Structure 1
Amino acid sequence: MDEHTRGEEALTNFTDDQKVYTTPNGTQLHGDSLELLEGLEDESVDLIVTSPPFALQRKKAYGNEDQEAYVDWLAQFGEAAKRVLKPTGSLVIDIGNAYRKGSPTRALYPYRVLLKFVDELEYHLAEEFFWYNPAKLPSPLEWVNKRRIRVKDAVNTIWWFSKTEWPQADVNKVLLPYSENMERLLKDPEKYYKTTLRPSEHAISKHFGNNNGGSIPPNLLHVPNTESNSNYLRLCRELSIKSHPARFPAKLPEFFIQFLTKPGDVVVDIFSGSNTAGMVAEQLGRKWYSFELSHDYAALSIMRFLPSMPPETAHKLYQKALQETVALPDEARHLSQAALDAAEAGLDIALEEREAANQAWGAAADQTHDSKSFDSSEHAEKTLALAKERRVAAEKEVKKAKQALTTAQAASAALDAFYAPETVVPNGDTSTEVE
């Protein structure tokens, strides 16, 4: 039985060599996603949210398919995904747009994917979403920057497919804060509008003054992809390891996980890359499975689950994940505790040295004061100078040791906060209560 089913009927049939690391809620696996999908039981998944390699003209380091073959290639995964989705389950796919080779006209493969999935695989299009990323760079350079005959492409299309016409969804979980005008209206509806017909002939009634906890979000998702200071990138920079070049911004999978699942549900990303979706699912108390073809990228994604971890400690777990399954947070806590113990021992040694240095300096000062002859006085001054240097060095070491202890304590606390205590959620499963 898989360790994450927590006493329920097994949902998975994965081998140990496929598992890269595990957490209380999930498992990162490496291998071909078609094969890994076979390891999931029928109708066991609530949501598959993913961003597959795009059908770009230029080959990328993470691998991408040619435009001509893209639709049939992606349809394989859509067919395999349909088997594992529950009747109320959803498949959310982020598909980037592109131009035709050598032409300033758009490729139509995103729409061919839509028609293929609906007409042939018999998915339902629950709704289309558009991800607006204002941080996107102008591309393609030929048409946008050089010839300046096209505008910057800043929107990705996201297809929300469902297995049946009635997928699980709850807009109340993704409400946006009311605007200032709406807040004022809620305080005194009669003051701000009267019941009337709009030009569109829609009736504006007093019910528009009801406080529903927030405004309903549009299907245009404004999510800048500006990750720069995340734990993942920080550790990659400090360890001089090249990060995954195409990363999901956390707010994107977070929206769909909140919207389309509840705590304890199963979330899968079949092209996980740096495993942003798995990290978000972990923190939202969902079970998760992430699939990544590259063993190295799969292992490197462990950095997302090591908050505030010192680089050298995180590197040990990354290297281990390349060889065998790492059990989080236990193995991280073990290394974190070892670092904490070492920092405490280092501070004790530094304090002892400072005490010894202070005593040596005091003795040297007394010797200098008591010196009578020139020779003895000169020797005492040299001894005092050396004792002073030792005292200054010892004080610096104490400061360094205190900082090391503070860092180790912060890393331990961050790890505990990330893997918060487990509580029982309504469906009887155990998971992190975050909602």
Structure 2
Amino acid sequence: MDTAEIRKSIFRLAWPAILEMTLHTLVWTVDTAMVGRLNPASISAVTLGAQMMFITMAVFGSVGIGATAMVARNVGAEDYGRAEKVGGQALGVGMIISTLLALTGMIFAKEIFQCVVDDPELIVLGSTYLRYVLIGGFVLIPLGVSNGILRGAGNTVVPLKAAFFANGLNIIGDYVLIFGKWGFPQLGVKGAAIATGLAQVLGAVISLYYLFSGKGGIKVHLKDLFRIDREILSKLFRLSLPAAFEMAMNDGSRLLSSFWIAQLGKVSFAANAVAIAAESVSFMPGYGFAIAATTLMGQNLGAKNVDVARRSTMKAMNYAMIFMGTVALIFLLIPQHIMALFTTDRETLLLAAQCIRIGALEQIPIAIAMVISGALKGAGDTKGPFHISLATNLGVRLPLIFLIVFVWKLNVVYIWIATALQFILEAVLMLLRYRKEKWKTLEIH
């Protein structure tokens, strides 16, 4: 495969993934804006409820990461029968986990919120939101696993289609159910939950249709969903558990950090929040090229094309660095103009602008870390990214943020310096792990 073919393969996989992530970010922004027209308790209830559901489902849904790696390896080896069987086993596991989590959340929604907050109104609204949004919880992990299987087979367009229609339904559903439009009742928080839940169901139906029909490039058979294959399941869990721990570590670290940052005061907390919202847009190219690196690494190792696997990873990393490096320049040159899109409060704007300027230093390291992590996972090395995440969070991020907030009592800009150091170290460690080239000899299919 020459350079032009590698570039074509990378962009064919990356651009739908980038657009998919853009859609998810857009719907979250619109959802927040609509709920924001209610009252503070409603905003908090929806934010907390959504975070609980999506973080929990994402951690337990990491079986999709293992499925992507195994499917890609078998597709590359042209063993489509085994790839389909892996997909069926992963999807069956995802359905069981998702059902158990959704039922638990629905039954114990009130008790869950009572453990997190002590405001009676927030407990009522939050538990109501959680019960109704978990309509989609039953299919949220199967949706993620389905998309992982499709990506492993080299199809990133179907997940984009599913996201397009699901997020469209979510936005329309929010409008008519939150505010009571077009003859529908005004349901407020409950309406937001129902709209999100139904959107997840629609997304799952679309992805599953392509999987079971074989129109997505790989066909999953019903008989493989619950017919246990211990060998496949053993490899699937061996790959997926480190990815789950990594996600739990990263999400837990961010959540704990936000609790600590809240101690710096409302302005600092708000500045950090809007700066993060602005920076999240920059991650989309990294996400897309990481998906491409994962798929191409797995498929080329399956086809015994180690050199193409290596070159694809390096090309994907370079493209991610170019795109995110461009964003870094924008963050450096016009940070106040960017933050003016997110807040009108002068004090918050100026502080957030300082944060996002520091965030420019993170962009290229994040691009490197995301793509190399994706490539390692595509090769079956999920332990490496987890160990690196563990080291950088526990060794750099959390200790430094604790010192900045509680010991040195510095402002939130120093928090961003600490996270920049974390991402720089993470990028270095990812590259060192990758260059050892142990990924070349991993057998996972």
Name the TM-score, length of structure 1 as normaliser: 0.23
Compare the two structures and name the one with the higher helix fraction. 2
Compare the two structures and name the one with the higher strand fraction. 1
Name the TM-score, length of structure 2 as normaliser: 0.23
